[in-house]
Structure 1
Amino acid sequence: MELRSNFPSTSALAVTRRAQWVSLGISPDDLDRPKVAIVNTSNDLAACFAHLDPIVAVLKEELRGLGLLPFEVRTAAPSDFITSAGRGGRYILPSRDLIANDIETMVEGAQLDAMICLSSCDKTTPGHLMAAGRLNIPTVVVPCGYQHSGLADGDGGDVEEIFFEAAKQSVGGAIDPALIDLADTAIRGPGVCAGLATANSMHMCAEAMGMAVAGSAPVRANSDRMWDGVRRAARALAGMIEQDIRPRQIITAGSITNAARLMLAVGGSVNTIKHLQAVAEESGVEVDVWETYRTLGRETPTLCSIRPNGPYLTEDLEDAGGAATVLRELLPLLDGDQLTVEGVTLAERLADAPRADGTIVRTLDEPASTTPAIVVLRGSLAGEGAVAKRPIPDPGPRTFRGPARVFHSREEGVEAIADGKIKPGDVAIIRGIGLVGGPAMGMISAFVFALDARDLGESVAVITDGQTSGLVNHGIVIGEVSPEAATGGPLGLVEDGDLIDIDLATGTVDLLVEPDVLAGRTPFEPRSDVDTHGLLDQYRAVVRPLACGAVLCSRAPGLPRQEVTR
């Protein structure tokens, strides 16, 4: 591989870089080596990132031993449980693209040759994959593991359980002191939250796509398996540099479809849809991920029932072989010819994966369920798509028809619940909080918890152009409706009393109002009282629709724009 980092030794750039790097203790003899960015997302705000700095130290030693010259760089890194406090959690989704931009600034600006990315909490993995596709230099993603919890020890809860219970109790006022005590022992080690939420889901997606080494997700943080994955990732990166293997050879329509198939088989986070679409956009890949989930969901058996979808722990899934075992079972449905960071095909590396045990990971012949846990819907209310999450197996019901009750914030909706204005059979609409209207997709999980607190969770359907937690999987809750109300979507024209029809089996969500009636209604006007100065204003101005993954760029560098077709 020709090294872009090596400028003519007598050029001004080379001499200046030599002055900087020699002053840092780098030998002049090493300056011609391949230069590798170790992308670290460490900070002191959450347990998700607490163990990453020691990984950097090990990687530096490994990479130097392989003849490479490592440089640590850092990026923004949010935790949904911590950095969701400001402005209604609206910094969370924009941080994904901020991470990709941070990487571009540091790695492209310095003209480094390759990168190895330490992926932890929810938005770090998609941000890393987006940057890999954008920069197209040899890259390996390292899933850095999930945290040990009281639930796994059998004498407490985990952070997700604490979050949901606290949210429900807060609807009625004070939180039970016993729950506060439980919170003190819920997290017993570093790493991401232990359930099959966005972080573990995206770690598994990276492996399915071939951008992480085999058998690296899910993995206990700081375990022997994690450290083995770290060292194998360093060796894989050295091989990519030697063979000049680039991310756009790995990130293809086939590998993205493989990741989608895996997510459907394990009932992963709904957030993986927009993140995989964003990775495709940044990599110049023409694939409609929303339609991929919608189509494959009807033909992909669900092989696992992992919390929060079912009774088993992520630890159980790891011990049963993790993503590699599920992928091996799915291989007849996958594109096994896709290239991976090890330089072999997906099928070749799955040959050594453990076989399904038939309990934690079920077989294609005897799945846990034949109805999808991730349901993508389209229809007259969501022409570009919407998504619902269901438990495994799904007890139903899978259809719902009722009159709309329209709200413009989660707070307005929660107040209506408290006042008894939402009745069984209603379809609660919370609109104007999408990518542009929010901006950055407001979170309505508190509204769903308030419904549960009043025993309305199963008898009231919810539809929003905002988002819910990827862990909400009961009742009929449909999020991320696109096009959103603020950009002229039909959700903005819904009035109280309009009939809404939902069918999860056919994947449809329809507004039962005649087109000529809708045409006579006043266009939706977004709220003007939302504080959005700074980053959020910038985001609102440039974000593209969910059909394009909510990315901020118009095209991948050096590639023609490929429009999403329906």
Structure 2
Amino acid sequence: MKTVNERRSRNWFARDGKDGFIYRAWLKKQGIPASELEGKPIIGICNTWSELTPCNSHFRELAEAVKRGILEAGGYPLEFPVMSLGETLMKPTAMLYRNLVSMDVEESIRANPLDGVVLLCGCDKTTPALVMGACSVDIPTIVVSGGAMLTGRHMGTSIGTSDIWRFSENVRAGKMSNEELAMAEAGMCRSDGHCAVMGTASTMACMVEALGLSLPQNAAIPAPDAARKVLAQLSGREIVKMVEEDRRLSHILTREAFENAIRVNAAIGGSTNFVIHLLAIAGRIGVQLELQDMDTFSNGIPLLANLQPSGSFFMEDLYYAGGLPAVINALLPHLHKGCLTANGQTIGQNYSNAVSYNKEVITDLESPFNKLSGIVVLHGNICENGAVIKPSAASSHLMQHTGKAIVFEDIDDYKKRIDHPDLDVDENSVLVLKNVGPKGYPGMPEVGNLGLPAKLLAKGITDMVRISDGRMSGTGFGTVVLHVSPEAAAGGTLAILKDGDTITLDVHARKLFAHLTDEEIAQRKSNWQPSYPLSTRGYVQLYQQHVEQAHLGADMDFLKGGSGSEVTRDSH
């Protein structure tokens, strides 16, 4: 526990003479009385509000609720912006900028007179980016997620983001008109909030709650529900207590907390993007976590939440069925119950009394929704450092499959050829997409769940084995192998695959390999030349030069570990 005089903000506001004059006077110009700066915890509210990030468009109002809680608890709130990542609008991909935002957050926290910070995040990359940046500073921190939007409606049925992929394939197959697609578009996004399914945004909200970085129920309260504002206000109160008790990220984010999060992610059918973000967060806080841990600690955990894209229901349904607390309660026999959380209680204390109010939405260990869950990590000559697949979103008949490769050199090659009537493809083929990894795209976009060839859609085929070094939207589904490492642009075996190569996927055996000898692979690699676009300036050049491979979390090599809360220099 730190005394008042040991708080970071006192190094600014408790000074005499010129230095203190400057720090205090310029804040007073905003109408802040001197008494607010004299001994009160100064709490930063890190806000990713932006009209270019529709998922986070309600964050101004949410920030006001947080401020009320901070003031009630005797702290003083100061809101500040960081770059906001909108998954739906940003090109080439929001993932390219995750590490940049983490740097923005880290330096904004370190450089300013903050004793604690509240992270307001919602859309996919905002959550890991903000948590990564805060981890590198390691001051008291709590997360408030924005919440999911209300369930969409179309022609009497419930719809969510996962249905976009179904609608798209139906239009390409001639089963759905463009007029009906426009009707569905009008009914998809009915309120503030992020995607209504267990996509990446919801997975990230569940991740922070499972890690202990938020108050209970943070993950699933819908954005427009009044309970979301209540939770924000309570979080404002809690961060002041966290500062007073010096309860920091490094106290919460232990190895055991990461193991808990992996198991919870399995039980909810969370996005494969969870893997790459959790690895990056672990790297920032200094916890040793490896890709294989994603398989090891999710193995044997069944799917308890019946949510799209692995199931039928939506985040709104999850909340009213008991929310993430009900899922965690069911999992307690498999969790480290003594892990500390943001409110000073343990996981066991927070969730021991939670119940499921709807067994169709939240099941239990004795009668799970699906025995297949979690993330399977694959190895083989295609993916020397690993690749991932989400079994609960895959087709059972393709879990063990051998087929001839149809290889696309990049996303443009795919778009050019996929619907060509002369494409030599059938339902047993394996679609392979190269050069969509961290360096090769750049930024590792969500294009891994490739749309199927139009002529196969017309035959009624709905799934094929697909392999890439890219990612898949958390709202997507199918027998899709992702995050192949090393990526094609780094000279991995993926780079030298050709049309007609025989590929075997065996999910049960954790294998993915091409039927090529070591000698053939070596000979092809000796003739390989990188062909991905290299940036010549700015952040993108820095990213391509320093981004690590997917199995390490795709963070920048120079950002691993923390550098603490001390400012680099004191200029006054």
Aligned to 1:286: 288
Which of the numbers 53, 68, 84 marks the counterpart of 1:77? 84
Q: Any conservation in 2 of the 1:305–1:392 contact (CA below 8 Å)?
A: no
CA spacing shift, 1:156–1:246, aligned 2, 3 Å: closer
Offset from partner CA, 1:149-186 (integer Å, 9 cap, x none): 33399556444424652466368899612211331232
1:426 maps to what in 2? 429
Q: Which letter does structure 2 place at the counterpart of 1:339?
A: L
Write the mapping of 1:142-181 to structure 2, written as runs, cut at 5 A. 142-151=144-153, 154=156, 157-162=159-164, 164-166=166-168, 169=171, 176-181=178-183
Out of 432-441 and 292-301, give the one that drifted further: 292-301
Question: Is the alpha carbon distance of 1:175 and 1:456 closer, same or farther for their aligned partners in structure 2, counting shifts above 3 Å?
Answer: closer
- TM-score of the superposed pair, with normalisation by structure 1: 0.91
Determine helix, strand or coil for the equivalent of 1:18: helix
Counterpart of 2:69 in structure 1: which amino acid?
E
Q: Which has the higher mean CA deviation after the structures are superposed, 506-515 or 113-122? A: 506-515
Q: For each residue in 1:3-50, what CA deviation from the matched residue of structure 2 results, as whole angstroms up to 9, or x when unmatched?
A: 111124215432211121011111112213211110111111243122
Given candidates 522, 526, 540, the residue that maps to 2:530 is 526
Quick one: structure 1 residues 160 and 405, their matched pair in 2 at CA, closer, same or farther if it must change by over 3 Å? closer
Q: Which residue of 1 aligns with 2:474?
A: 470
- Going from structure 1 to structure 2, the CA distance change for 1:523 and 1:258 (only over 3 Å counts) comes to farther
| Aligned mates of 2:7, 2:170 — CA distance in 1 | 55
| Amino acid in the other structure paired with 1:557 | G
> How far 1:243 sits from its partner (Å)?
0.9
The answer for the alignment partner of 2:330 in structure 1 is: 329
Deviation (angstroms), 1:526: 2.9
| 2:63 aligned with 1:60 | no
CA 1:485–1:29 in 2, change beyond 3 Å: closer, same or farther? same
Amino acid at match of 2:470: G
Alignment of 1:309 onto 2:310: yes
Report the equivalent of 1:362: 363
The question of whether the paired residues in 2 share the 8 Å contact of 1:305 and 1:360 is answered with: yes
Corresponding residue SS for 1:185: helix
Contact 1:120 1:191 in 2 (8 A): yes
User: Is structure 2 residue 502 aligned with structure 1 residue 499?
Assistant: yes
- Residue 563 of structure 1 is matched in structure 2 by none
What is the RMSD of the two structures over their aligned residues, measured on CA atoms?
2.5
What is the rounded CA distance, in whole Å, between the counterparts of 1:473 and 1:374 in structure 2?
Answer: 13
Give the aligned partner of residue 214 of structure 1: 216
Asked whether the 8 Å contact 1:408–1:433 carries over to 2, the reply is no
Aligned to 1:70, the other structure's residue is in SS state strand
String of CA shifts for 1:425-466, please: whole Å, max 9, x gaps: 222211122111111114425732546745585564211111
The 5 A counterparts of 1:44-443 are 44-83=51-90, 86=91, 89-90=92-93, 92-151=94-153, 154=156, 157-162=159-164, 164-166=166-168, 169=171, 176-288=178-290, 290-355=291-356, 357-372=358-373, 374-391=375-392, 395-419=396-420, 420-443=423-446
User: Relative to structure 1, is the Cα distance of residues 528 and 354 closer, same or farther in structure 2, using a 3 angstrom cutoff?
Assistant: closer
Match of 2:552 among 534, 548, 555: 548
1:510 partner SS: strand
Q: CA deviation at 1:340?
A: 0.3
TM-score (norm 2): 0.90
Please state if 1:20 is matched with 2:26: yes
Quick one: which of 518, 525, 528 aligns to 1:515?
518
Amino acid at match of 1:19: A
After TM superposition, the structure 1 stretch with the greater mean CA deviation from structure 2, 384-393 or 460-469, is 384-393
Identical residues among aligned pairs (%): 27
How far the C-alpha of 1:60 sits from its partner, in A, is 1.7
Pair 174,250 (structure 1): closer, same or farther in 2 beyond 3 Å: same
* Alignment CA distance shift 1:69-1:533 (3 Å): same
1:9 and 2:15 matched: yes
Q: Which moved more, 1:500-509 or 1:545-554?
A: 545-554
Contact 2:504 2:513 in 1 (8 A): yes
293-302 vs 30-39, which moves further: 293-302
What secondary structure is seen at the aligned counterpart in 2 of 1:277?
helix
Answer with 144-153 or 540-549: which moved more. 144-153
d(CA) in 1 for partners of 2:59, 2:551: 33
Return the alpha-carbon distance in structure 2 between the equivalents of residues 233 and 240 of structure 1. 10
* Distance across 2 between alignment mates of 1:365 and 1:455: 39
How far apart are the structure 1 equivalents of 2:31 and 2:275?
44
- 1-side partners of 2:473 and 2:370: how far apart? 23
Instruction: Give the whole-Å Cα distance in 1 for the aligned partners of 2:22 and 2:175.
Output: 61
The letter for the 2-side match of 1:287 is: L
Query: Bigger shift: 191-200 or 435-444?
Result: 435-444
Contact 2:120 2:143 in 1 (8 A): yes
Confirm or deny: 8 A CA contact 2:159 2:188 kept in the other structure. Answer: yes
CA separation of 1:283/1:481 partners in 2, compared to 1, >3 Å: closer, same or farther? same
Alpha-carbon distance, 1:261 to partner: 0.5
CA–CA distance in structure 1, aligned partners of residues 99 and 463 of structure 2: 37
* Unaligned ranges ≥5, structure 2: 565-572
> How far apart, CA to CA, are the structure 1 residues paired with 2:553 and 2:375?
17
Structure 1 position 125, deviation (Å): 1.1
CA offset digits 1:66-91 (Å, max 9, x no partner): 111111111122222222xx3xx33x
Do the aligned residues in 2 keep the contact of 1:284 with 1:556 (CA within 8 Å)? yes
Q: State the number of aligned residues.
A: 552
1:295-335 deviation line (CA, Å, top 9, x unaligned)? 23331111122012112222221111111111111011011
- The equivalent position to 2:45 in structure 1, one of 18, 25, 38, is 38
Between 430-439 and 389-398, report the one with greater CA deviation. Answer: 389-398
Name the CA distance, whole Å, in 2 between partners of 1:456 and 1:444: 22
* Greater mean deviation of Cα atoms: 277-286 or 124-133: 124-133
